[in-house]
Structure 1
Amino acid sequence: MSYRSTVARQSESLADTLTAAQAELKGLDLTPMASGVVAVTGIGASYAAAVVVAAELQRRGRRAFAVRSGEMMEGYDIADTVLALSHRGRSVETVEALQKLPRAKSIAITNNPESPLAKAATYHLTLNNGTDATPSSTGYTATLLAAGLVVDAIQGSGGADWTGLSALTKDIQSRAAAKMPRLAELFRDRRAIDCVGAGASIGTADGASLLIREAARLPASGYETRHYLHGPMEAMDASTGVVLFGDARELALAENLNEIGCPSLLVTSDTGISDHGTLSVVHVPACDDLVLRGIVDIFTAQLLAAELSDAAGLTDVKFRYKQTDTKIVD
């Protein structure tokens, strides 16, 4: 399937994943994972998701952190529990990370219960997102949803209305789509795009930058908001673009960028700010649960990546660089 078609069917893929994951979780006793230090790990887009999940665990009072799977391959005893994220469960680094931590309890979230990662983990939860494309859309959001359900299973409910997510997805995608003609014009021919957010939104910013790199082959980077203010934003001007996620310092930052004519996109729950100048705003509902907010926020970035891909003449073009040592093959 094409990238746009998989982005469009996320309402269905999330509903399917919710039903399947909730049923499977009823048969899993995750009590051994309810204490100790938690590492949430993944590689690529899965690491971006891991940052979001770790932030939600921290919000719930758990000692938790995100770590790239490649940083765990030495096997240091850094956590009591590991949440391992990999859409197909074949990432070499993530599998080895679990194999090198035999004492840690672990749960793998993949779309294949027979995958190498599923077999390496103590527990496994299966995604039911259907087909995905490059860049990943349904795989990324379904992974976040399943991880959010695991957090609920371990920590108790965090207040997310998971049953309403399918309808919410359609609503946010519609809001974002309405802004795409404006964004396509403002973000045309950017020489670089930065993506910025704080807390859990650092993961969303990282995921958004990866989408832009993969879909449009544009230099794009993810930054933490306060860090961004200490120098990195100095490179941005009217020839670049910035995508911001958040409801706090991100608003003033968006205004700073607008003042110098740097096209920017702000995804926020603050309804007191709207489109003006070179600033475009997509409003999303406020969410206490950071995993739910991470899902809601990424929809706009997915559509923007599709617009930039089309503008570059790269619609559904495959990756140029073929790696032979990042996936386990049968």
Structure 2
Amino acid sequence: MSYRSTVARQPESLADTLAAAQAELASLDLSPLSSGVMAVTGIGASYAAAVVVAAELQRRGRRAFPVRSGEMMAGYDIADTVLALSHRGRSVETVEALQKLPNAKTLAVTNNPESPLAKTATFHIQLNNGSDATPSSTGYTATLLAAGLAIDAIHGSGGADWASLPELTKDVQGRAAEKMPRLAELFRDRRAIDCVGAGASIGTADGASLLIREAARLPASGYETRHYLHGPMESMDAATGVVIFGDARELALAENLNDIGCPALLVTSNTDISDSGKLTVVHVPASDDLVLRGIIDIFTAQLLAAELSDAAGLTDVKFRYKQSDTKIVDQAS
């Protein structure tokens, strides 16, 4: 399937994953994962998701932190439990991360119960997002959804109305789509794009920057909001662009960028700010549950990546760099 078509079927993908994951979790006893320090790990887009998930665990009072799977391959005893995210379950680094911590209780989230990661973990939850494309869209959001449901299973409900997510997805995608013609014009021919957010939105910013790099081959980087104010934003000007996620200090940042003529996109639940000059605002519903908010916020970035990819003549292009040591080969394929 094409990238745009997989983005468009997000409501169906999330509905299918919701039903499958809830049914599977009903038969799992995840109490061994309820205490101790939890590492949330992944690589690539799965690491971006891990940042969001770890932030929600912290909000619930759990001692948890995100860590790239490559940083766990040394085998140091850094966590009592591990939540491992990998769409296909074949990332070498994530599988080895679990293998190097044999005493930790682990939960893997993948789309294949026969994958190497699923077989390495203590517990497994299967995604049902259907086909995905490059860059990942339904795989990323389905991973977040399943991880959010797992957190609820371990620690109780965090207030998210997961049943309404498919309809909410349609609404937010519709709002974002209305802004794409404006964004396509403002973000045309950028020499670099930064993505910024705080807390869980650091993960969303990281995920957005990866989408832009993969889809449009533009230099893009993710930053934490307060860190961004201490120097990194100084290189941004009328030839660059910034994508911002958040409801607090992010508003003043967006207005500051607009004042100097730098195109900016702000994804926020704060309705006190609106489009002006080179600033474009997409309003999204507020959510206390940070995983739910992470899903909601990424939709605008997915659509922007499609616009930038089309503008660069790279629609549905395949990766140029082929890696031979990052995925465990499926012997059955």
Q: Report what 1:199 is aligned to.
A: 199
**Pair 1:126 & 2:126 matched:** yes
The 5-angstrom pairing of residues 198-237 of structure 1 reads 198-237=198-237
The 5-angstrom pairing of residues 258-269 of structure 1 reads 258-269=258-269
**Pair 1:95 & 2:95 matched:** yes
User: Once the 2 structures are TM-superposed, how far is the Cα of residue 248 of structure 1 from its aligned partner?
Assistant: 0.3
User: Once the 2 structures are TM-superposed, how far is the Cα of residue 189 of structure 1 from its aligned partner?
Assistant: 0.2
User: Once the 2 structures are TM-superposed, how far is the Cα of residue 243 of structure 1 from its aligned partner?
Assistant: 0.1
User: Once the 2 structures are TM-superposed, how far is the Cα of residue 41 of structure 1 from its aligned partner?
Assistant: 0.1
Tell me the distance in 2 between the aligned counterparts of 1:154 and 1:71.
26
**Pair 1:21 & 2:45 matched:** no
Tell me the distance in 2 between the aligned counterparts of 1:155 and 1:283.
30
Deviation track 1:157-204 (CA, whole Å, cap 9, x = no partner) reads 000000000000000000000000000000000000000000000000
User: Once the 2 structures are TM-superposed, how far is the Cα of residue 217 of structure 1 from its aligned partner?
Assistant: 0.1
Tell me the distance in 1 between the aligned counterparts of 2:40 and 2:290.
15
**Pair 1:278 & 2:301 matched:** no
SS in 1 for 2:39: strand
Task: Return 5+ residue gaps in structure 2 as ranges.
Answer: none
Tell me the distance in 1 between the aligned counterparts of 2:245 and 2:316.
26
Q: Report what 1:184 is aligned to.
A: 184
Alignment-mate amino acid for residue 291 of structure 2: V
Alignment-mate amino acid for residue 110 of structure 1: T
SS in 1 for 2:82: strand
Tell me the distance in 2 between the aligned counterparts of 1:33 and 1:234.
43
**Pair 1:57 & 2:57 matched:** yes
SS in 2 for 1:238: coil
Q: Report what 1:165 is aligned to.
A: 165
Tell me the distance in 1 between the aligned counterparts of 2:301 and 2:32.
36
Alignment-mate amino acid for residue 8 of structure 2: A
**Pair 1:40 & 2:40 matched:** yes
User: Once the 2 structures are TM-superposed, how far is the Cα of residue 226 of structure 1 from its aligned partner?
Assistant: 0.1
Q: Report what 1:243 is aligned to.
A: 243
Alignment-mate amino acid for residue 206 of structure 1: D
Deviation track 1:189-238 (CA, whole Å, cap 9, x = no partner) reads 00000000000000000000000000000000000000000000000000
Q: TM-score, normalised by structure 1?
A: 1.00
Alignment-mate amino acid for residue 52 of structure 1: V
Tell me the distance in 1 between the aligned counterparts of 2:311 and 2:31.
50
Tell me the distance in 2 between the aligned counterparts of 1:292 and 1:213.
24
Tell me the distance in 1 between the aligned counterparts of 2:28 and 2:100.
24
SS in 1 for 2:199: coil
Tell me the distance in 2 between the aligned counterparts of 1:125 and 1:312.
37
Runs of 4+ residues over 6 Å off in structure 1: none
SS in 2 for 1:11: helix
Task: Return 5+ residue gaps in structure 1 as ranges.
Answer: none
Tell me the distance in 2 between the aligned counterparts of 1:207 and 1:143.
13
Tell me the distance in 2 between the aligned counterparts of 1:29 and 1:284.
34
User: Once the 2 structures are TM-superposed, how far is the Cα of residue 276 of structure 1 from its aligned partner?
Assistant: 0.2
User: Once the 2 structures are TM-superposed, how far is the Cα of residue 239 of structure 1 from its aligned partner?
Assistant: 0.2
Tell me the distance in 1 between the aligned counterparts of 2:151 and 2:208.
23
